[in-house]
Amino acid sequence: MEKISVSCTCEIATGAGGFRDSADILVTSIVVETDRRGIAGVRFVFDQSTSIVPYYTQLNSGDTYATRVGANLIRVTTAPVSLSQDIWAFSAPGPLHEADVSNAQWSHVPEMLGGRAQVVARDALGNPIANAEASVRILSGGGALLTEDEFNTFVLAQGGTVLLLTVPGVRIMRIW
């Protein structure tokens, strides 16, 4: 009994991922044939950004906050038999690469400077990383750290205060 191969069309319906074709070119739609076992395979490449089609999920058990991942909907259709199957693929941020500090809502009190210090951890492609631990401490110059809530640390500092903000693997020193 001769087995008949079936053509399968795989296309990216949502997201910025793609498939590598036989010439190693990234394409958003590709037609492949099933093998003698009836299996068709493609080389899928995840998108590089989690902001194109964002989806939020707890990646690891014990995570306090949801992580933004990139969602890709792959639609697979076959011929001559009419069959359609949707497959979701999610790309998570990579390892910690950098962290930056944003300062907002500064107010001046006589001889003091106050404001919120926020640390944002990112992977090498600029995607934010959730659940990265960060610490803030005053190295010199006086002042105080007042924890307002789990997202904000209020910094009350004198001019020339040196703060050390640390995310594991990244150290940021900021002078106010």
In order of start, what are the domains of the chain with their CATH numbers?
7-91 (no CATH), 96-175 (2.60.40)
Residue indicated by tokens 């492609």: 125
Dist CA 102 CA 117 (whole Å): 6
Which of the residue ranges 102-111, 121-130, 152-161 has the most confident prediction, judged by mean pLDDT? 121-130
How much is the pLDDT for 10? 94
160: its two tokens: 């020339």
HSE toward the beta carbon, residue 49, CA cutoff 13 A: 6
- Output the pTM of the full model: 0.67
C-beta contacts of 119-123 below 8 A and 24+ residues apart: 119/165, 119/167, 119/172, 121/96, 121/167, 121/170, 122/93, 122/96, 122/97, 122/98, 123/93, 123/94, 123/95, 123/96, 123/97
**What is the rounded average pLDDT of the residues 49-64?**
90
Q: What is the pLDDT of residue 98?
A: 77
Is residue 8 within 8 A of residue 30, CB to CB? The reply is: no
Q: What's the mean pLDDT when you consider all of the chain?
A: 78
- Strands in 112-123's sheet, in edge-to-edge order, are 96-109, 112-123, 153-157, 144-147
Task: Give the confidence band of 37 by pLDDT, cuts at 50, 70, 90.
Answer: confident
pLDDT value of position 132: 77
pLDDT band at residue 38 using 50, 70 and 90 as cut-offs: confident
Q: Is the dihedral of CA 28, 127, 98, 96 positive or negative?
A: negative
Lowest mean pLDDT among 9-18, 65-74, 125-134: 125-134
